Amino acid sequence: MREFKRILVTSALPYANGPLHIGHLAGAYLSADVYVRFQRLMGKDIVFVCGSDEHGAAITIKAMKEGLSPQQIVDKYHALFEKTFSRIGISFDMYHRTSEPLHHETSQEFFRKLYKKGEFQEKESEQYFDEEAGQFLADRYIMGTCPKCGNGEAYGDQCEKCGSSLSPTDLINPVSTLSGKKPVLKTTKHWYLPLDQYETWLRKWIETGELDGKVLHDPDVWKNHVLGQCKSWLDGGLQPRAMTRDLDWGVDVPRDIKGHEGKKLYVWMDAPIGYISSTKQWAINNKKNWKKYWQDDETALIHFIGKDNIVFHCLIFPAILRAHGDYILPVNVPANQFMNLEGKKISTSRNWAVWVHEYLDDLPGREDELRYAMIKNMPELKDSEFTWKGYQDANNNELVNNLANFVNRVMVLANKYYDGKVPAFDEDMDFIGPDDQYEAAFHDSELLRLFDDSHELCDFLRKFDFRSAQKVLMDISTRGNQILQFNEPWKTIKENPEAVKAVLNLCLQYVAAMAILSRPFLPFTSDKIRTLLNLPHLEEKGELNKMLDQLSEGKPLLKKGHKIGEPIHLFTRIDDETIQKQIDKLAGSSPVEEPSEKPVAPELKPEVTYDDFQKLDIRTATIIAAEKIEKADKLLKLTLDLGFEQRTVVSGIAEHYSPESVVGRKVSLLANLAPRKMRGVESQGMILMAENGDGKLSFVSAEDGWADGQVIK
Ligand SMILES: [Zn+2]
Q: How far apart are CA 365 and CA 569, in angstroms?
A: 13
Phi/psi of residue 437, nearest 5 degrees: -65, -10
Neighbours of 559 (CB within 10 A): 9
Q: Do 120 and 191 touch, CB atoms closer than 8 A?
A: yes
Chain-centre distance of CA 640, in angstroms? 53
Q: Quick one: pLDDT band at residue 590, thresholds 50, 70, 90?
A: low
The yes-or-no verdict on residue 635 having pLDDT over 80 is yes
The yes-or-no verdict on residue 693 having pLDDT over 70 is no
Distance 595 CA to ligand 1 centre (A): 13
Distance 152 CA to ligand 1 centre (A): 8
Task: Check residue 570 and report its DSSP letter.
Answer: S
Q: Quick one: pLDDT band at residue 694, thresholds 50, 70, 90?
A: low
Question: Can you give 471-536 as a three-state secondary structure string?
Answer: HHHHHHHHHHHHHHHHHCHHHHCCCCHHHHHHHHHHHHHHHHHHHHHCCCCCHHHHHHHHHHCCCC
Alpha-helix residue ranges (DSSP H) falling in 141-223: 195-208
Output the pLDDT for position 478: 97
Neighbours of 636 (CB within 10 A): 23
Burial, 198: exposed, middle or buried (Cβ in 10 Å; 0-12, 13-18, 19+)? buried
Query: Cα–Cα distances in Å, from 550 out to 42, 450, 451, 555, 559?
Result: 13, 11, 9, 5, 12
Output the pLDDT for position 610: 86
Q: Quick one: pLDDT band at residue 28, thresholds 50, 70, 90?
A: very high
The yes-or-no verdict on residue 563 having pLDDT over 70 is yes
Output the pLDDT for position 697: 82
Output the pLDDT for position 626: 92
Average pLDDT for 544-560: 96
Residue among 480, 490, 506, 492 nearest 423 (CA): 506
Distance 183 CA to ligand 1 centre (A): 21
Q: Which helix (H) or strand (E) holds 410?
A: helix 405-418
Q: Quick one: pLDDT band at residue 591, thresholds 50, 70, 90?
A: low
Distance 146 CA to ligand 1 centre (A): 5
Distance 706 CA to ligand 1 centre (A): 29
Neighbours of ion ligand 1 (CB under 5 A): 146, 148-149, 151, 159, 161-162, 164
Q: Is the pTM of this model over 0.85?
A: no
Distance 178 CA to ligand 1 centre (A): 21
CA atoms within 13 A on the CB side of 369: 25
Output the pLDDT for position 599: 46
Q: How far apart are CA 124 and CA 191, in angstroms?
A: 9
Q: How far apart are CA 68 and CA 80, in angstroms?
A: 16
Q: Which helix (H) or strand (E) holds 708?
A: none
Residue range 654-673, pLDDT digits in tens? 888 888 888 888 999 999 99
Question: Can you give 27-48 as a three-state secondary structure string?
Answer: HHHHHHHHHHHHHHHCCCEEEE
In sign, the C-alpha dihedral spanning 290, 286, 83, 386 is positive
Residue range 342-354, pLDDT digits in tens? 999 998 877 899 9
Q: Which domains does the chain have, with CATH numbers?
A: 6-108+268-341 (3.40.50.620), 119-246 (2.170.220.10), 388-552 (1.10.730.10), 610-712 (2.40.50.140)
Query: Cα–Cα distances in Å, from 92 out to 81, 227, 384, 540, 646?
Result: 12, 27, 25, 13, 75
Mean pLDDT of the chain: 93
Task: Check residue 561 and report its DSSP letter.
Answer: T
Task: Check residue 250 and report its DSSP letter.
Answer: S
Q: Do 367 and 571 touch, CB atoms closer than 8 A?
A: no
Neighbours of 217 (CB within 10 A): 22
Average pLDDT for 426-443: 88
Distance 66 CA to ligand 1 centre (A): 27
Output the pLDDT for position 680: 84
The yes-or-no verdict on residue 594 having pLDDT over 70 is no
Pick from 90-99, 128-137, 472-481: least confident? 128-137
Q: Order the strands of the 142-145 sheet from edge to edge.
A: 154-155, 142-145, 172-176
CA atoms within 13 A on the CB side of 276: 26
Distance 240 CA to ligand 1 centre (A): 21
Distance 616 CA to ligand 1 centre (A): 38
Average pLDDT for 195-215: 96
Distance 209 CA to ligand 1 centre (A): 31
At 94, the amino acid letter reads M
Average pLDDT for 436-464: 93
Q: Quick one: pLDDT band at residue 434, thresholds 50, 70, 90?
A: confident
Output the pLDDT for position 64: 86
Residue among 166, 163, 248, 236 nearest 202 (CA): 236
Distance 341 CA to ligand 1 centre (A): 21
Output the pLDDT for position 606: 76
Task: Check residue 637 and report its DSSP letter.
Answer: E
The yes-or-no verdict on residue 239 having pLDDT over 80 is yes
Output the pLDDT for position 323: 97
Average pLDDT for 237-266: 93
Neighbouring residues of 67: CB distance < 8 A, sequence distance ≥ 6: none
* Opening angle at CA 678, ends 672 and 679, nearest 5: 160
Output the pLDDT for position 664: 86
Q: How far apart are CA 296 and CA 288, in angstroms?
A: 14
Distance 173 CA to ligand 1 centre (A): 14
Distance 158 CA to ligand 1 centre (A): 8
